[in-house]
Structure 1
Amino acid sequence: MKQRARGDGGDGRSEKGTGKSPGKKRWRNQKRMGGKGFSLEAFANAKSGASGYNPALIKKQREFYKNAKFIKKYKTTEKQQNLTSDHIPTASYDKNADETENLQVQSNKKKKKTLSLREEYEKKRAEDEKARIEREAIIQAKKEERAKAETRRKAQKEKMFKKTRSGQPVMKYRIEHLLEGLIESSQK
């Protein structure tokens, strides 16, 4: 800031009256703010610097680790299946015989797998069918209950709204209704 020959900043006020020079004010402001601060260019460069946070990269890494976990699990199960599968040792040293036996063993495995898969599929289908039938039975029972309750309420409503010739309500049905309610509450 340039110092002016006169003590006023153009608005008629003078800094001489405060007892503080302009340099001292600047120094106090810098001290309060924690230093001189960045230039505009340095500030812009500092802001545009690469930070460690990149959501796309984080998502990609997470997916990579997830896939690696699945692959490891698959390989371990594959090893366990190979170790537990029945290997038939052959006494012959003929290569052709070994190859044919290996093919037969592999075809047997495939047949067993397809049979077991089919059995599993049939079993699951039967369970689903059984569950569906049970659900339908429950729904049907609820519908019947609702229908019975609806007819009972309609009959009750007719009785409750019956009138005599003179237009007075018939009290016989209303008293019966109250008594039924009392009996039910005492039984519970």
Structure 2
Amino acid sequence: MKKQGGHSGGRSWSLGASAKMKSNSTHYNPAEIKKQREFYKNAKHIKKYKKLKQKTDHEYSQMRIEPIDLVQEEINSTSRKKQRKKSNLQTLREEYEKKKQEEEKAKMEAEAIQEAKKKEKEKVMAQKKELKHKMLKRTRSGQPIMKYRLDHLIETLQRGSN
């Protein structure tokens, strides 16, 4: 036999049990995850910094004072390096100027080719315009003038045979 209670859910939870359940919630909290990620990231950076600092401290402790001759040799070697850098700068500048001149030449050639094509195109368009004008010529009564049409046909036939 079933017990019939006032609500349909079986047994109800006690007040203490429901409070415990609320405190032990395992739901997703993005703010908490972000905070934890930032904490670990900062710890990683701190660890790297400490290692680097320890390494540099160790190197400084092992350094000793070099004799004056070695210091002078280093100064001389650095001055040689500067001279090499200057010569490298000069060669780089020369190469840059040479490339720039080549690019200018190429640009001028391209412009010349483009200009020649443009002139050729204008010439062809002028010929087409003249031909169209001749082909559309008419007499007073509106009949087409056949002289120009026959000339055009003869030219096309001759071009085709050649």
Equivalent residue letter for 1:146? K
Q: Aligned runs of 1:2-21 on 2, under 5 Å?
A: none
- CA deviations 1:5-45 (Å, max 9, x no partner) are xxxxxxxxxxxxxxxxxxxxxxxxxxxxxxxxxxxxxxxxx
Identity %: 47
Give 1:107's aligned residue.
82
Q: Residue 95 of structure 2: which of 91, 96, 120 is its match?
A: 120
Give 1:171's aligned residue.
146
C-alpha RMSD over aligned residues: 1.7
- Matched residues in 2 for 1:181 and 1:115: separation? 63
Count of residue pairs brought into register by the alignment: 95
- Matched residues in 1 for 2:87 and 2:158: separation? 66
In proportion to residue count, which structure has more helix?
A: 2
- Matched residues in 2 for 1:148 and 1:177: separation? 18
Give 1:76's aligned residue.
none
Give 1:184's aligned residue.
159
Q: Residue 154 of structure 1: which of 120, 129, 149 is its match?
A: 129
Equivalent residue letter for 1:143? K
- Matched residues in 2 for 1:97 and 1:131: separation? 51
Equivalent residue letter for 2:114? I
Q: Residue 133 of structure 1: which of 100, 108, 121 is its match?
A: 108
Q: Aligned runs of 1:56-135 on 2, under 5 Å?
A: 94-95=69-70, 97-135=72-110
Give 1:85's aligned residue.
none
- Matched residues in 1 for 2:77 and 2:71: separation? 10
How far did 1:96 drift?
5.0
- Unaligned stretches of 5+ residues in structure 1: 1-92
- CA deviations 1:157-185 (Å, max 9, x no partner) are 11101111221111110011011111112
How far did 1:97 drift?
4.4
- Unaligned stretches of 5+ residues in structure 2: 1-67
Structure having greater relative contact order (Cα 8 Å, sep ≥ 6): 2
Give 2:120's aligned residue.
145
**TM-score, length-scaled by structure 2:** 0.54
How far did 1:113 drift?
1.2
How far did 1:125 drift?
0.9
Equivalent residue letter for 1:185? G
